[in-house]
Structure 1
Amino acid sequence: MSRNKYVLLATLGSAALLLGAFGFQYLGGMAPCKLCLWQRWPHGAAIFVGLFVLFGGPRVLVWLGAAAVATTGAIGVYHAGVEWKWWPGPSSCTGGGMDLGALSGNDLLSMDAPSGLVMCDEIVWQLFGLSMAGWNAVICAVLLGLWVAAARRKV
């Protein structure tokens, strides 16, 4: 298979994952948490890099696409570990979500405070025991393989 076919498959894979995330959010009503949002940015970068390479960009950028999916996959592993309580997550979206002891009485009673904090350590959807973060990590391992295969191809 040619380098461009590998790049195309990897780019389409990131696009599919990103579209799936938006589908869960806007069609399924599942708001993303902070770590979910962090996983989206590298997919966007991988799509941008893939398109650039497909339209004649330098071969060395293929490694940048690989780095992007490796990054989102690593965030997915971290996020899945937070969901499974293997390690702590960001204090702003795990456990209690906020340090209530640091808030004043006015802050606690304020109607202007943001509502609907989505917790990073709660699994809102899973398939075969893996959450969305877990599936992101698994699929990113495959996408990383495609990017590396593309980088190692001469043409």
Structure 2
Amino acid sequence: MKTFPDLVNDPRLAAILLALASVGTLASALFFQFVLDYQPCVLCILQRWPYVAVVALTMASLALRRSNRAVAALLGLSGLALLVGAGIAAFHVGVEQHWWAGTSSCGGAAAATSLEALRAQVMAAPVTRCDEVAWSLFGVSMAGYNVLVSLALAGFALTAAKTNYRR
């Protein structure tokens, strides 16, 4: 059984694990969307993009055969992408908890000044609102779990990057 130091010391193994974790997270989101019929809001969709970036970066790092520094740099970029994802997810948690307003594409918009403007606003509103928790487990929403997963994977990626860049 590999230990944590073994995993971060091997940049290619770290890249494979990050790619698998990212694909698994994306697969989970798609399972909720297409099998369980939980339609994502705009912020839910935005939270998927950092995982797509991580898959692309880790696949690129696996194509590099001899350069541990280049692989480490791509792992570092993956970690930064995951931190961005954690930020988006944390913002989404705040919107769900009504700590702050979401973006205009989340359904919050300025007051309409005419009946036509109100009609256009209603017709353009998203079907799934960002400020409603669609699913939760133990009081934590999907966005909340995404914060935790993104931070854990970012920590792993950045640790692997730092360890292997020094070599």
Task: Pick the TM interval, shorter chain.
Answer: 0.7 to 0.9
- Residue 18 (structure 2) pairs with residue 10 (structure 1): yes
- Asked if 2 retains the 8 angstrom alpha-carbon contact of 1:82 and 1:121, the reply is yes
Q: 1:88 to 1:5 in 2, by over 3 A?
A: same
Q: Which of 27, 41, 45 is residue 49 of structure 2 equivalent to?
A: 41
Alpha-carbon separation, structure 1, partners of 2:140 and 2:54: 23
- Asked if 2 retains the 8 angstrom alpha-carbon contact of 1:6 and 1:149, the reply is no
Q: 1:34 to 1:144 in 2, by over 3 A?
A: same
The residue identity in structure 1 corresponding to 2:77 is: L
Query: What per-residue deviation string (whole Å, max 9, x for no partner) do you get for residues 101-154 of structure 1?
Result: 24544973x8xx457621000000001111111100101111011101220233
TM-score, normalised to structure 1, is 0.85
Q: Tell which deviates more after alignment, 8-17 or 69-78.
A: 8-17
Q: Tell which deviates more after alignment, 59-68 or 43-52.
A: 59-68
Please report the RMSD computed on the Cα atoms of aligned residues, expressed in angstroms: 2.2
TM-score, normalised to structure 2, is 0.80
- Asked if 1 retains the 8 angstrom alpha-carbon contact of 2:105 and 2:126, the reply is no
Q: 1:141 to 1:114 in 2, by over 3 A?
A: same
Alpha-carbon separation, structure 2, partners of 1:76 and 1:53: 26
Q: What is the aligned length?
A: 150
> What's the CA shift for 1:55?
2.1
Q: 1:103 to 1:44 in 2, by over 3 A?
A: farther
Could you say which structure has the higher helix fraction?
A: 2
Q: Which of 151, 154, 157 is residue 141 of structure 1 equivalent to?
A: 151
- Asked if 2 retains the 8 angstrom alpha-carbon contact of 1:89 and 1:121, the reply is yes
Gaps of 5+ in 2: 1-5
Q: Tell which deviates more after alignment, 37-46 or 98-107.
A: 98-107
Alpha-carbon separation, structure 2, partners of 1:107 and 1:87: 23
Q: 1:118 to 1:100 in 2, by over 3 A?
A: farther
Alpha-carbon separation, structure 2, partners of 1:118 and 1:86: 19
